[in-house]
Structure formats: structure tokens, C-alpha cells
Chain A
Amino acid sequence: MGALLEFSSGALFRLAIVVAVLGVGAQFIQNALVIARSSGTWKAGAGSSLKAIGAWLNPVARARTRGVVGEILTVIVLAGVIVVPLFYLGHARLWGRTLFLDWPAVPAEISDLLTKVTIAALAALLVWRLADRNYRLAMLRFDWLPILLALSAFVSGYLVAHPGHSPLSPDNTALIHFMSADALLLTVPFTRLARCVLLPSAIAGAIQHRKEVAA
């Protein structure tokens, strides 16, 4: 397990985290520059990008256009995807030890509860999107990957924390958890998730485009 723990914060994890963080940053800068170039001013570029992200972050506005159920599920998933990995006690200890930082953590009971809620929300979101014809049309095959990877990472993560429930050995469960989490991070800048955050009009445009193609 010691070697696996070392692997968890090793080269692959570092590669994935840098790709995720810098990739999203590069997407933002790129979109801001493209908008600036088309609108003629740098101020307009950064302003439009930030405004669009602000609008995307507003769940009320999104609920109006996409439906309340879907929006609630999305908010739960996003909250879980951010809070659980960052503030889970085990992660906090691992990163805190590596980075010599007092990494904050939520109590184990809360992170367990959040994990279960996130898994349920992810599964519901997957079913809901599969059931929605518009989404099915709008999403490319690659776009299903983050949801599946997130499900895999959360389920395996829960089993790593509760090895008694796992049908696999602790090492195998941990390996699946690390690999799916790293893969999730690697996909972040290339998926619709990043484009939604950075260029909110992209998803609406994609849905419209797919509808037209299907028609």
C-alpha cells in the first residue's frame, strides 16, 4: 500500500493535475483572446468571458433554461466533485504530508455522506441525460467519459475508505481509484465541462447544431 500511496501523488498525478489546471487556464485565456479579437478590445474579451462564466455559475438562471431537476443534480455533482476530493480527510493527510501544509479537512462522517450523495447524483444525472433526447443528441461519445470516470473515482474512493465493502482487494480498489481520478483530471480541459465553464454558449450552440443535424 505504501508504494501505491507514493504512486497516488507521483508522476501521473502531477501530470494530470497540471494538465487540468493549466489546461482550463489556457482555455480561458484562449477564449478571452478570441472574443477580444472579434470584438476589437482586450477589455471586452476578458469582460465577456468573465460575464459568461458568472452567468453559468448562477444556478437559478440555468434552471430556467435547463429544468430544475437537471440543475439540482448538476449542482450536487459539482459540489461533490469539488468538496469531496479536496477536503476528504485521507486526501488532506496525504497532500498535507507531501506539501508540508495544514490542509483543511471535513469530518469523515460528512465526507462519507457527501460521497454517497455525489454518487447518487452522478448516477441520476447519467440516467437523466440518457433519457433526455436533446442531451443525447448534443453529447459526443467522449462527453460521457467524465461522468463515467467521476462515478468510477467516487465509488472506488468510497470503497478504499471502507475496504470491508469492496469485492476487490484494497490494492486493486486503490489502483482503480487513482487511475480513474487521474484520467478524470486529464479529460477536464478537453471535455464539454471545460467548454461549458469557459464558453457557456458552446453547449447551447452544440445542442442547437445537433438538433438541426438530426432534423
Chain B
Amino acid sequence: MKMKRLKTVKSILWALVGAAFAIAVFRFWRGLGPTTALTDLTPWGFWIGFDVMGGVALAAGGFIIAATVYIFHLERYRPILRPAVLTAFLGYSAVVVGLMFDLGLPWDIWHMIVFWNPHSPLFEVGWCVMLYLTVLLLEFLPVILEMSKHPVLAAVYHVLHKFTVPLVILGIMLSSLHQSSLGSLFLIMPHRLDPLWYTPILPILFFVSAVALGLMMVTTESLFSAWLYEEEYELDLLQGLGRVAAGVLWFYLALRLGDLAARGVLPHVLDGGFGPNLFLVEILWSVLIPATLLTIPATRKRMKTLAIAAGMTVSGMVFYRIDVGGLAMIESTGTRYVPSWTELTVSFGIVAGAALVFFWIAEHFHLMHGGPMIKGRERLPDVTNFRPRLIRGAVMFVSGAALATALLPNAAIDGWPVVAQTVHRPGYGDVMILDGNRNDKGVRFDHKMHADIVEGDDKCAYCHHMVKPGARATGCSECHKDEHLPTSIFDHRLHQELLAQGPGCLTCHEDTSKPKDLEHSKPCLDCHSSMIPAGAAFKPRESPNIGLAPGYMDAMHGLCLRCHTEQDGNSSTDAPTLARCSTCHSGVVKPFDPLHPDQRLAAPKKDDAPKGDDPKAE
């Protein structure tokens, strides 16, 4: 029966999407813990290994075929360009969706746009995914827009069409960066990752394997589409990709084995045990067998063997990434992580969703533009039986969702219960010594006083809330923030109350025509003549308008450290002198300006010092 394969495959895909949808509801409602097998020791599981690591690599076909056509001008590969770019776009979209599932706080994903951490490989990965996804969208958008008759969309199409080559170059650059930076992520784990996988050239290995994987992914996608839509296989075209992939695979093998030999790890390959056996299976599956099949012209030109080689390369290279992302860490961490069926279903559901979008675009747009398959592909979409297709999809979606919900463990439905914590009185009575940063310098903490000050039934939770992972108690600075902030030492309300019986506001704001601010108010010393003790070393030349005092941290730490650092080695001032207030408060630096409380923190310049005020001159 015509299109029977397509119907069956789409039905399975809809069921997977439905099941993933149902699990997604509970994952975001109840959290990662009860819905996955992930733990604090194994926070990166199948979603990172398969969806992110594998998904990015599967999308590598986009930039490789784009480079082949636009940069190397191998025009005969143009018919597979659009499907390759679409596969890349959908692959990256699947990566983003998969990542959303894996992030503890997915709603904070925008943080990386605002809060930059350029030292983090994950920062680069995030930005590359974001930028490359945008570039892929712009690269693929003409396929959608070329059918639009709307004048604005037509104009956008022309602009995008003009910028195709710059976009392709940008895409190649970003994708190359990203493929390799995925490998860089694991460079920070030398003691966690098995030595057979950990190497300083991980970024290079990730990039080279992505090239082979990308070529074979395009081959797999093309063969699968032709099988599904009962079309002719583009063997002439695809065997050319296979020949190139064979070369890349052998180069990759040489790199891996050469690296092992150079690091002296090669003999361990034959040690037996979980790690070495996993390595051998991976190399055999991902490189040796497919590279051999692709090197021999007779097998490369046959559809079945080409499909086997492509399938093995694709699954094998995804396997490599899963190994690096988790399996090769099992022995060092001692964990026994086995992905739960919910994780697997979500991953396959995301891929199924991407595949359904691919089929929909293939059936409604000129995906095989300009190629020999365009005639057949245009004829294929059969939209006359729309309602039965819709019903079939809906039934499969609902069935998948219902079955997944029914099979979910009770913990995933109910969530993890709140565990009651036993509360003990402080072990050393009401007052204790806290050494928060373990530097053997504790502070006296009056627990009873704090317990008395805070009111309410849940006052213990005010400090002992434990909302953060691993938190046992709130840090002092969570509440005592004012020590870090400039503090107003002028209490306006108090002055208002005290002066209400007398002249009121006019006491300080003498000229009513002027703004009632610090600058136009009576100086404090006019009333508070005894504010500065008679023997004080620092005597301001003018009466100060004291408003804001620097915070405790700035006053103590900032002042000392800054001056000591900047004046270090200056013979005119040495450390002991700097520790005395009068060294600075003697007219060498500018008088304290409450509007610019940090001004004094800047190092005093000798040239700025008014003549006659130089302490040395005295």
C-alpha cells in the first residue's frame, strides 16, 4: 500500500511525542529528582550525552554540505543542501529543547546573555548554540519565504538570499567553534574522565568526529527519506560523501590511537574491564567497521552496505559522545547511572518531534530545490485525506501521553515529599563561635539573641531554610548587607521631630528659594560644634556636610588594601604609617565628599597635595 511506511513511521513518532509531552508536564511540575535517574553525583545523564552532545554532532551535516556547495563550489551536492541545513536547524532546536529539560532552572537561561563569564567553555557553547541556531534559521528561511506572496516577506527573502554566502561563512565559523568547544567542556575533568577518553586534544577529536558524523548523517537522512517516501536512492551523490567520510574516519582513528600512544595509555586498551572494553566496542562500531565499508568501492556503492556504514557511524559517534559525557566516568565516580525510561522517552520524543517537522516541511515546501528528486517529492504530499491523517496523529499522540502518564512512577506524579528535619539547640549553648570560611578565625554569634529578635512561627526557617543545595544555614551577610553598603549617618526624620517645636525646616534649610538638598543646607558643625573631638588628628578645613559614610567593608578593607597596594614601595609612606588615620586625614587627600563617598578610596597623588599641607614639609 502506498505510503504505508510513512503512515506507520509517523504514527510511532506521534506516540513518542505524546509520551514525551506527558513526561515533560511532570518533569517541569515535580522537578528533575523524582522524574529522572539523575543524582547530585551524576547530574549529566542521557539528556546531555544524547540530546546535547549527540544532537549538536548530528547537526554537523549542515555546515559541511554548505561549505561543500558554497565554498568549494561542488554544485552536484546542491540537491542535498536544503535537507542538510534543515536537519542542522532541527538538530540544534532539539538540542535547545533537550537542554531545557536538563537545566534545573530553565527559566534563567537568558542569564548567559546578560551575565557574561568568558572563562567558561559552557558560556561559549551557549552562545555558539544561540548564534548558530539564528544563522541556521536565516539560512533556511528562504525555503519557507520563497513561496510567500506577501510583499514584506518577499523583500525579506531577497535580502536573505543576497546574504547567503556571508551567512554560510558565519555558520561554518560558529559551528567549528562550537563542535570543538563541546570537547573543551570535558578538559576540566581529568580526574573524572577515563584516560582512554580524556586527552588535551578532545576539542580536535570532537571536531573531526563531527565532520564524519555530519557527512554520514546527511547520507542517513537522505536514504531514510527516500525509503520512507518510496523514492529512488541518490547513490551516486551519497557514495561521494561516503568516500570523503572514509578518509575522515581513518584520520580520526589515527588521531585517537596516536594520542593514546603519545600519552602512554595505548597498552591499557587491552587491559580488559569496563573502560577498555567500552573503548574497543566504540572504536569498532564507530570507526573500524564503517570506515572499512566506506573505503571499499563495491560496498560503498551498494545501498544496504552504505546504509549500514552510515548508521554505524552516526550511532557510533553519538555513542562516543555519550561515553565522554557519562559512561567513561562511571569507574572514577563509582556511580551506577542507568537512564530511566522517562529520560529515554523524552529524548526520543524530542527527536520524533523534529522528524515530524522535517516531514511536514518536506511535504509542503521545495526542500529538494533544484535537485533530481524535486519532481517526485512535489508529487508525493497527499493532502486529500487530511482528516484521517489528523485523527491518526491525534489518537497516537493521546495514546502515547496516556500510556506514559499511567506508567509514570508514583514519585513522579506525587513529587518527593517534604522530609521533616529534627531541630537541635546549638551544641555550645546560646552563644557560639562561628568560623564560616574555616580560616580558624571565628566570630562570636549570639544565637539566642537572633532567635529572640526574629518573630513568627517559622522563625527558625528564616536562617535554616535550606532552599539552596547543600545549605545548612543562611550566611551572616544575607541579612547584614548594610555592612557592605554606604550608610547614611544623618537621620533626617530624627531632626524633623526634634526641631518641630522650633523654627522647623528653616533651621537647616535657611534659604527657602534654594533646593532642599545637602549642598544648600546648613553644615552639621554649625550646630554640632563638638562633633569632632578636640584632640582629633583630622581637622577638616571646612565644616563637612556629613551624609553618607562608606560601608564597613569599603572603609576597612577597601581603604587599607587599595592604599597599601598602590603605595607599596613608595618610600614616603610605609605600611605602619598607612594604618594610622592621620596619614590620609591630614589634607593630603581631598576632604570627604558625601556625594562621592568613594572618592577618597582613590590613591592620593602627590601633585594634588596642596602646598604647605605636605606632612613631610611639616
A→B interface (CB under 8 Å): 10-12, 14-19, 22-23, 26-27, 29-30, 33-34, 37, 98-100, 189
A100 to B30 Cα, complex, angstroms:
11
B405 & A14 in contact (Cβ 8 Å cutoff):
yes
Partner of B398, one of A19, A37, A99: A19
Cβ-neighbour of A15 out of B397, B403, B413 (below 8 A): B403
> Does residue B265 face the partner (Cβ distance < 8 Å to A)?
no
Q: Which residues of B contact A10 (CB under 8 A)?
A: 410
Q: A190: nearest residue on chain B (CB-CB)?
A: B395
A selection of 16 A-B contacts at a CB cut-off of 8 Å is: A11-B407, A14-B402, A14-B405, A14-B406, A15-B406, A18-B22, A18-B401, A18-B402, A22-B397, A23-B398, A27-B394, A30-B391, A98-B413, A98-B414, A100-B414, A100-B415
The answer to whether B398 touches A11 (Cβ under 8 A) is no
Q: Is B116 an interface residue (CB 8 A)?
A: no
- Size category, B interface: 20 to 34
**Taking the complex as formed, is B424 at the interface, i.e. its CB lies under 8 A from any CB of chain A?**
no
Docked Cα-Cα span, A189 to B391, in Å, equals 12
Cβ contact within 8 Å between B403 and A22:
no
Q: How far is the CA of A98 from the CA of B414 in the complex (A)?
A: 6
Which of A12, A26, A189 counts the most B-chain CB atoms under 10 A from its CB? A26
CB of B115 within 8 Å of the partner chain: no
* A29–B402 touching, CB < 8 Å: no
Over the window 20-34 of chain B, the binary record of Cβ atoms lying under 8 Å from chain A Cβ atoms (1 yes, 0 no) is 001000000000000
Q: Report A-chain residues with C-beta under 8 Å of the C-beta of B22.
A: 18
Chain A residue at smallest Cβ distance from B29: A99
- B453 interfacial by beta-carbon distance below 8 Å: no
Contact A18 B415 (CB under 8 A): no
**0/1 interface trace, chain B 398-439, chain A, CB 8 Å (1 if under):** 110111011110100111000000000000000000000000
Q: Is the CB of A26 within 8 A of B397?
A: yes
- Taking CB atoms, residues of chain A closer than 8 Å to B403 are 15
Q: Is B379 an interface residue (CB 8 A)?
A: no
Give which listed residue, B394, B395, B405, contacts A18 with CB less than 8 A.
Answer: B405
Tell me which residues across on chain A come within 8 A of B494, comparing CB atoms: none
Q: Does B617 contact A (CB under 8 A)?
A: no
Distance to closest chain B CB from A96 (angstroms): 12
Q: How far is the CA of A29 from the CA of B408 in the complex (A)?
A: 26
* Residues on the B chain within 8 Å of A19, using CB: 398-399, 402
- A14 near B408 with CB under 8 A, answer yes
Closest CB-CB distance, B27 to chain A, in whole Å? Answer: 15
Q: Name A's interface SS.
A: helix
Do the beta carbons of B415 and A37 come within 8 Å of each other? Answer: no
Chain B interface helix/strand/loop/mixed = helix
Q: In the assembled complex, how far is the CB of residue A189 from the closest CB belonging to chain B, in whole angstroms?
A: 7
Task: List A contacts of B2 (CB < 8 A).
Answer: none
Across the interface, which residues of A come within 8 angstroms of B407, CB to CB?
Answer: 11
CB neighbours of B402 from chain A (8 A): 14-16, 18-19, 22
Residues of B near A189 (CB, < 8 A) are: 398
Contact of A30 among B390, B410, B413 (CB under 8 A): B390
Known: A11-B407, A30-B390. A18 touches B413 (CB 8 A): no
> With A15-B406, A18-B22, A19-B398 given, is the CB distance from A34 to B415 under 8 Å?
no
Q: Does B387 contact A (CB under 8 A)?
A: yes
Question: Would you call B107 an interface residue if the criterion is a C-beta within 8 Å of the partner chain's C-beta atoms?
Answer: no
Indicate if the CB atoms of B408 and A30 lie closer than 8 Å: no
- Shortest B198–chain A CB gap in Å is 44
- A22:B398 contact, CB within 8 angstroms: yes
Measured CB to CB, the nearest residue on chain A to B386 is: A37
Within 8 Å CB of A37, what residues of B? 386
Instruction: Collect the chain B residues with CB atoms within 8 Å of residue A16's CB.
Output: 402
Q: Look across to chain A and name the residue whose beta carbon is closest to the beta carbon of B414.
A: A98
How many angstroms from the CA of A30 to the CA of B22 in the assembled complex? 19
6 interchain residue pairs of minimum CB distance: A26-B394, A15-B406, A11-B406, A18-B402, A14-B405, A22-B398
A residues near B386, Cβ cutoff 8 Å: 33-34, 37
Rounded to whole angstroms, the CA-CA distance of A14 and B23 in the bound complex is 12
- What A residues does B397 contact at CB under 8 A? 22, 26
Q: Cβ of B18: which chain A residues have Cβ within 8 Å of it?
A: 22
CB distance from B590 to the nearest CB of A (A): 60
A93 to B18, CA, bound (A): 30
Which residue of chain B has its CB nearest to the CB of A25? Answer: B398
Q: Which B residues are in CB contact (< 8 Å) with A22? A: 18, 397-398, 401-402
Q: Give bound CA distance, A19 to B406, whole Å.
A: 10
Distance between Cα atoms of A21 and B315 in the complex (Å): 37
Chain A residues with CB below 8 A from B398, complex form: 18-19, 22-23, 26, 189
**B608 to A: closest C-beta gap in Å:** 65
Complex-state Cα separation, A98 to B26, whole angstroms: 13
Q: In the assembly, what is the distance between CA of A23 and CA of B398, in Å? A: 6
> In the complex, which residues of chain A have a beta carbon less than 8 angstroms from the beta carbon of B394?
26-27, 29-30
A98 to B410, CA, bound (A): 10
In the assembly, what is the distance between CA of A34 and CA of B414, in Å? 38
B150 to chain A, nearest CB (A): 15
How far, in whole Å, are A30 and B388 apart by their CA atoms in the complex?
10
> In the bound complex, how far is the Cα of B505 from the Cα of A1, in angstroms?
77
A15 touches B405 (CB 8 A): yes
In the complex, besides A18-B402, A100-B414, A100-B415, 8 extra interface pairs with C-beta distance below 8 angstroms are A11-B406, A12-B406, A19-B398, A19-B399, A22-B397, A22-B402, A34-B386, A34-B387
